[in-house]
Structure 1
């Protein structure tokens, strides 16, 4: 057994993705969050905080409100959305226009090279540190998979949250991308129809912190060999700028459950418009009276469609926002109109307070229908779980009657790893859901929440075949030599997609989650605890959908070359040494920003959410020896005080001074400075250089030669949005707020990054997120995305010129003086002493959240959905 210290495992939350436009979750509208399995927040502390209270996380920490730890992800969702939407709501068509404009630019530079297209081992034994998740059992991982599809010929399709759709011809593994020609790489749904065609609904629909809107539905007629193209889009632009949760088929039509109602289209004639079947609040749809209302994004959310197998004209719609609204419920047509079902459903709830996120699944023989229901009331009131239940209709009709087969307590007792108060099965049921029925056995069903559950008797009994992780089980020990050997590989947590298919005549179940894709035989084996013994990770390195927030590069002093690291959504911090054949994870959790010593790539600072910073000076290499002697720990928590007061953003900025790598700045409400570099060991070693003001939080910081630029927002959502820039010195002198009137030269939008001229700290560039006033109907939205100061920030000039109207995320000055800018659709470049922008290389339509120049003078791009890319900048003008 592990010691009590080690058993206090760490939890985290999820945060961003890539591609077309973002789900704009209104601030304050969401409750419920996504603390997922990894990162620096102890399990017992998390459970205590959950049990104690509910509400906004930051306010809870500050003592201003009740708090639920799971609200962190909802807060993260709000913040990621507001960066791209505030001060208004983005109109449909913004990303389509941006993609067209970007493709119209002249291309320059050499080709991008993906350097993370190799296996990434979350259980790498080199990094069995207290802050890693090595030995948790997830094995090799990649970025979040939102949807899965499989056929009986060994072909498997994995739809990632932000890295596009991938195909395997070998029952999983040896993957190839098949959607790179589309203007979005965000997947919402995948489905194979009866003719073998593959349907793709774009726009991930989990309403989490990094879900992007899509560009509609596409069909691939020959999925075994072809690739998706824009010519394969179904219908017109009716579903552009939506998210698509499910695609269902019946009576010659495909039905789409979207963020803007339920739509249908002929499956034989793919041209012509989509038909809006039902929208609960049509006034909030694009082009209608309330389209720009801040609440519009969640007023027409639909989750799934259940078609009666015996009479396809009978359809049930699952409609509703996860946190509740008076329109939430189940709907069916009666007398020519859609009406809420209030009777005859049996145990399946009908009240708006108890119908939230819903998933349906039908058996192949038509004898069973299954459903999962997440309850807004549970989300609000129950610190343990938001799951209302799992249900079966033994008539095979979606109209019921339905019988409840399980709640979170029953699932917790089925071998779950989630048995602690405050974090039990279904705690994130609004984010984690799938259902699938074995085609050969109507009572054999799989359910996905945080874990994977299996029942072979129609839901009467359940087994946790894919537990959250192995920590806490009797088989586990941090010392591999003392582990009993009974801990089986499991899947990564947080389930989203599922499919059942056959390879070489054998049936497999395929699951997609925050760690990628996994499979096991449908007729698989279980141990005495009900845990599967035969999961296989399909994340073999040929599929790279890793969702990076940041990248750091330093010299690899042990092996030559460089070491590359970066923070990832729900997959910790990756470490790629120059001699690695398999990349390892040396920190657990949502890795956000990163500082790496250019002179020594094993000196790393990784930020978890809300400015929780961990630092190591040996790449966090550890065999677990800290267990017997804590002095041997190789990573240290050094969070600035704003982490404890809740006054930092979900993804908070930090940076090393460009002239002095031992001086760091970090931003919450305050601009924090520390001068001990990677030798810092205590939060007390930070000092406040400047208070940005009550209600203000830093969105970007940069420093060079002791001069600091800090951007902030507050309020940061669309209502009363404000932003500003403060400038001063690391020693606390010379600080002042720059005058930025709402209608001034710098737009009233989210200020995302600075790039300082290494030769002159008074010369700097500013990037601005969101869209210009053409698309954002908010006060002071302004125009432009890139601005320049030559007087230390006192005045700023718009240098956007022909820059596409697209959210800009970061910038870096290249050797030779050129400027590279990261955007939500790739990288744009402007040469020294020129005014024209060009497209730097050619990436798929994926968000690039950070750019860095390494000590090898190469440019590195952290993409949120396709890993890390590098390019030689030699020869750029």
Structure 2
């Protein structure tokens, strides 16, 4: 995949023999344990799931553009995405992803080299797409995917760790990035830290508890990060931290501590050999080797958020522990006489009651005179207002007394924060947190929630230096000639990481968020509204960590090349047309599934969330202050209006009649106007799965529809699934016989369906999750792709030598071969073959969520962390290197 010496080593027979490979024990892992979904509108947050805010759309469920409190989304759909699809019907044992990755290294490759598509800058403020249904002109400028770790030195090196796109290095203070972790099995970032000797520590496994967060393969150390690249030989310790997520790496004395989702671990800073030591787990029975390991709540029972120590005595530790939605074990713990105990005595204003301690971040000044903390309050997590407990300071010691500096109302009113808006700072304090103290000034603090805040007086007052967006301000203008009006550029929303560095003696602060990395001088300039006037986007296109859910390709109306569209986590819908020097954003919010007319790439249908479908016939190029003249139309089926559909709900066009579309929520819905659709009334519900059952995949050929669904909350407890088959005119609908015991198809999430264009009874289905070797659930079965030649009456497992890893998307190629996208990459089976190869060369190890054939002879792959890639469709019929 990445290591040339490992490519194509085995003949076909040997590669297929790998089916019998049984790797045991924990392996390098990139497993997904998130339990929520990030999307882009403030909402009522559930007790065990929630969603990240971001940009809104001016549709029936939200307010007008620029109103951050415009709508309320149902967060229950969020919980049923990545995590549930990959774990149902049970709990996945550690090592599953690692075993699959190890097997993949010995597989043969077939086909040419993959080529990156989305390497031009993605300008969220592209004036070509400025209208009421786009986020363009919000002020974030060039964006990329979520950055969850940052480190910076005093020689101009900046290191950025992407949520699922690995580590990138800049030697110019940000920009001109180079990936430096592509040889690792995990590309999910928990934390990045430079130690006192200049070594770069990479803690894999994002711990932001979003549904598209992936666990990691441990901690790696790069001795010469300014010039080197990570390898598997750089891992610290053994397999102890595989298949977990790491929120923070902290250096205390001669020890490094890892705050993980499976407890607190420690390791020597001077001797990197030997295993990590489990310092403390509040509920050890729920660890992978414990008696309650199979309990569905096990992933939430040993979460450590951060740790710090008394500067006068580094043996006096205090750890912030607990699940963000609340649990009896939540609280602050200290080590006394070798034993960890929860603090029950007063810490001043900082709460100690388990009910009030959630996700916590610590920061201390370089001289040890000030300690700061953010606390998210679990009792507020059902509120649409804010989940922030408060921001606190303690003098000289983290053991208090702590003083409350600010809560949500203070941050909203202080320093012109969101003037004229009602944003509610901290609405996602469980997901958005960072703290950084200026190393030269203990009273100068940067804080990240949804926005970036700065204080010069130890938190007594704050300025919102990185506001959520500029839409609400009088300086904003929709006039395309004014770009963002006279407003200062801002950062993307949803903050996760921060670092301070310098180059040529000039210090800067770098922040990481759902839109990438941004920097400004440490002591920067404010405009008249109290916002920073000097933010610089570092997302220059050389760092492509865009998190795509989908991709669609059509011929460019210019007559040259193609237009490539795709839906993104928290970055709307991107469009790249022939000759573009930047990608534009023509739909706002989260981008879900995508449908593009192959004959005209400006005919686009885009899903916001939960089957809220929008359509445009001009690539979304509309500059209008009057919504009545808009050229983007909100055309959801009834399920999209009611919210009875999955967060990313499936919809597609009939492969023989592009004017017939099928969408899946609780119902199978059909419309026959193609891209001329203008209203919800154009849809007809042709089949009802029943209350609580939601479509997971749909396909249509010549009016024959296959629709997969999941039920029981689509989660581990009570999970059910099935496939309904019927006609687009509403006749002939019936459920296939798929017993829950997995005897016909595994009782796991059905992620994709593909129909043979020459025979509608010839159909393939992809199965997510893991086999019964790894999943302790009823009917988990084995296999990831199945074929039926009789319309679904009987099925054959054709997984053969495929790695045991979640399968995401099937594409039947013109030569009769099958391409299968998975959480590790893309695989290929030639027509009339029974053996799989890795498709192409040099596609980064990443979750590839959708495959789409373009009219230009390329196969396009939407990865969730490394952008969109393309490969010339193979013409041969046999697997080969």
**CA apart distance, 1:470:** 0.4
The alignment partner of 2:128 has SS state of coil
Deviation string 1:277-335 (CA, Å, 9 cap, x unpaired) is 11111100001100010000101111001122221111110001111001110000123
Matches within 5 A, 1:779-794: 779-794=778-793
Corresponding position of 1:589:
589
Could you tell me how far apart the structure 2 residues matched to 1:127 and 1:349 are? Answer: 47
**CA apart distance, 1:257:** 0.4
Corresponding position of 2:709:
712
Could you tell me how far apart the structure 2 residues matched to 1:529 and 1:802 are? Answer: 61
Corresponding position of 1:383:
384
Contact 2:149–2:189 (8 Å) recurs in 1: yes
Deviation string 1:649-682 (CA, Å, 9 cap, x unpaired) is 1110000110111110000011000000000000
Could you tell me how far apart the structure 2 residues matched to 1:609 and 1:835 are? Answer: 38
Alpha-carbon distance change, 43 to 442 in structure 1, aligned in 2, over 3 angstroms = farther
Of the candidates 670, 675, 700, which is equivalent to residue 673 of structure 1? 670
**CA apart distance, 1:694:** 2.0
| Mapped pair 1:22 → 2:21 | no
| Mapped pair 1:728 → 2:726 | yes
Matches within 5 A, 1:613-692: 613-623=613-623, 625=624, 627-628=625-626, 630-692=627-689
Matches within 5 A, 1:316-335: 316-335=318-337
| Mapped pair 1:598 → 2:598 | yes
Alpha-carbon distance change, 359 to 418 in structure 1, aligned in 2, over 3 angstroms = farther
Deviation string 1:89-120 (CA, Å, 9 cap, x unpaired) is 00000000010111221011100000101100
Corresponding position of 1:7:
none
Corresponding position of 2:761:
762
**CA apart distance, 1:806:** 0.5
Of the candidates 135, 138, 151, which is equivalent to residue 136 of structure 1? 138
Deviation string 1:838-865 (CA, Å, 9 cap, x unpaired) is 0012322200000011111210000000
Alpha-carbon distance change, 46 to 133 in structure 1, aligned in 2, over 3 angstroms = closer
| Mapped pair 1:701 → 2:698 | yes
Alpha-carbon distance change, 81 to 384 in structure 1, aligned in 2, over 3 angstroms = same
Alpha-carbon distance change, 876 to 188 in structure 1, aligned in 2, over 3 angstroms = farther
Alpha-carbon distance change, 233 to 519 in structure 1, aligned in 2, over 3 angstroms = same
Could you tell me how far apart the structure 2 residues matched to 1:748 and 1:462 are? Answer: 52
**CA apart distance, 1:645:** 2.4
Contact 2:50–2:78 (8 Å) recurs in 1: no
The alignment partner of 1:763 has SS state of strand
**CA apart distance, 1:758:** 1.4
Could you tell me how far apart the structure 1 residues matched to 2:138 and 2:34 are? Answer: 34
Could you tell me how far apart the structure 2 residues matched to 1:75 and 1:399 are? Answer: 40
Matches within 5 A, 1:364-379: 364-379=366-381
Could you tell me how far apart the structure 1 residues matched to 2:484 and 2:561 are? Answer: 39
Deviation string 1:108-143 (CA, Å, 9 cap, x unpaired) is 110000010110000000001211011100000000
Could you tell me how far apart the structure 2 residues matched to 1:833 and 1:418 are? Answer: 65
| Mapped pair 1:553 → 2:563 | no
Contact 1:138–1:491 (8 Å) recurs in 2: yes
Contact 2:554–2:855 (8 Å) recurs in 1: yes
The alignment partner of 1:643 has SS state of helix
Deviation string 1:792-839 (CA, Å, 9 cap, x unpaired) is 122211111111100000110011100000000100100011110000
**CA apart distance, 1:26:** 9.0
Matches within 5 A, 1:339-350: 339-350=341-352
Contact 1:418–1:468 (8 Å) recurs in 2: no
**CA apart distance, 1:418:** 8.0
Could you tell me how far apart the structure 1 residues matched to 2:809 and 2:310 are? Answer: 50
**CA apart distance, 1:33:** 3.0
Could you tell me how far apart the structure 1 residues matched to 2:78 and 2:872 are? Answer: 34
Deviation string 1:623-659 (CA, Å, 9 cap, x unpaired) is 2x2x24x443110000110122232011100001101
Could you tell me how far apart the structure 1 residues matched to 2:745 and 2:399 are? Answer: 56
Could you tell me how far apart the structure 1 residues matched to 2:589 and 2:505 are? Answer: 39
Could you tell me how far apart the structure 1 residues matched to 2:33 and 2:772 are? Answer: 19
Corresponding position of 2:25:
none
Contact 1:146–1:188 (8 Å) recurs in 2: yes
Could you tell me how far apart the structure 1 residues matched to 2:441 and 2:138 are? Answer: 32
The alignment partner of 2:837 has SS state of strand
Contact 1:378–1:386 (8 Å) recurs in 2: yes
The alignment partner of 2:104 has SS state of helix
**Mind listing any 5+ residue stretches in structure 2 that lack a counterpart?**
1-27, 38-45
Contact 2:58–2:132 (8 Å) recurs in 1: no
Could you tell me how far apart the structure 2 residues matched to 1:37 and 1:314 are? Answer: 43
Corresponding position of 1:69:
72
**CA apart distance, 1:401:** 1.4
Could you tell me how far apart the structure 2 residues matched to 1:389 and 1:501 are? Answer: 27
**CA apart distance, 1:70:** 6.5
The alignment partner of 2:428 has SS state of coil
Could you tell me how far apart the structure 2 residues matched to 1:556 and 1:757 are? Answer: 27
**CA apart distance, 1:779:** 0.1
Corresponding position of 2:519:
519
Could you tell me how far apart the structure 2 residues matched to 1:729 and 1:562 are? Answer: 33
Alpha-carbon distance change, 348 to 876 in structure 1, aligned in 2, over 3 angstroms = farther
Matches within 5 A, 1:209-288: 209-288=211-290
**CA apart distance, 1:46:** 11
Corresponding position of 2:54:
36
Could you tell me how far apart the structure 1 residues matched to 2:683 and 2:73 are? Answer: 28
Could you tell me how far apart the structure 1 residues matched to 2:343 and 2:559 are? Answer: 66
Alpha-carbon distance change, 19 to 590 in structure 1, aligned in 2, over 3 angstroms = farther
Could you tell me how far apart the structure 1 residues matched to 2:166 and 2:356 are? Answer: 34
**Mind listing any 5+ residue stretches in structure 1 that lack a counterpart?**
1-17, 52-67
Could you tell me how far apart the structure 2 residues matched to 1:174 and 1:788 are? Answer: 46
**CA apart distance, 1:416:** 2.6
Of the candidates 185, 198, 201, which is equivalent to residue 199 of structure 1? 201
Could you tell me how far apart the structure 2 residues matched to 1:47 and 1:796 are? Answer: 50
Provide TM-score, normalisation by structure 2: 0.93
Corresponding position of 2:563:
563
Residue-pair matches, total: 837
**CA apart distance, 1:44:** 3.9
Contact 2:58–2:65 (8 Å) recurs in 1: no
Could you tell me how far apart the structure 1 residues matched to 2:497 and 2:420 are? Answer: 24
**CA apart distance, 1:45:** 8.2
Could you tell me how far apart the structure 1 residues matched to 2:629 and 2:767 are? Answer: 43
Corresponding position of 1:798:
797
Contact 1:826–1:846 (8 Å) recurs in 2: yes
Could you tell me how far apart the structure 2 residues matched to 1:115 and 1:19 are? Answer: 27
The alignment partner of 2:610 has SS state of helix
Alpha-carbon distance change, 388 to 600 in structure 1, aligned in 2, over 3 angstroms = same
**CA apart distance, 1:39:** 3.8
Could you tell me how far apart the structure 1 residues matched to 2:832 and 2:419 are? Answer: 58
Alpha-carbon distance change, 800 to 40 in structure 1, aligned in 2, over 3 angstroms = farther
Could you tell me how far apart the structure 1 residues matched to 2:366 and 2:69 are? Answer: 40
The alignment partner of 2:355 has SS state of coil
Alpha-carbon distance change, 485 to 709 in structure 1, aligned in 2, over 3 angstroms = closer
Contact 1:19–1:845 (8 Å) recurs in 2: no
The alignment partner of 1:240 has SS state of coil
The alignment partner of 1:109 has SS state of strand
Contact 1:29–1:323 (8 Å) recurs in 2: yes
Corresponding position of 2:43:
none
Contact 1:39–1:590 (8 Å) recurs in 2: no
Could you tell me how far apart the structure 2 residues matched to 1:39 and 1:327 are? Answer: 39
Alpha-carbon distance change, 826 to 85 in structure 1, aligned in 2, over 3 angstroms = same
Contact 2:49–2:78 (8 Å) recurs in 1: no
Corresponding position of 1:810:
809
Alpha-carbon distance change, 80 to 47 in structure 1, aligned in 2, over 3 angstroms = farther
**CA apart distance, 1:77:** 3.8
Alpha-carbon distance change, 498 to 876 in structure 1, aligned in 2, over 3 angstroms = farther
Corresponding position of 1:13:
none
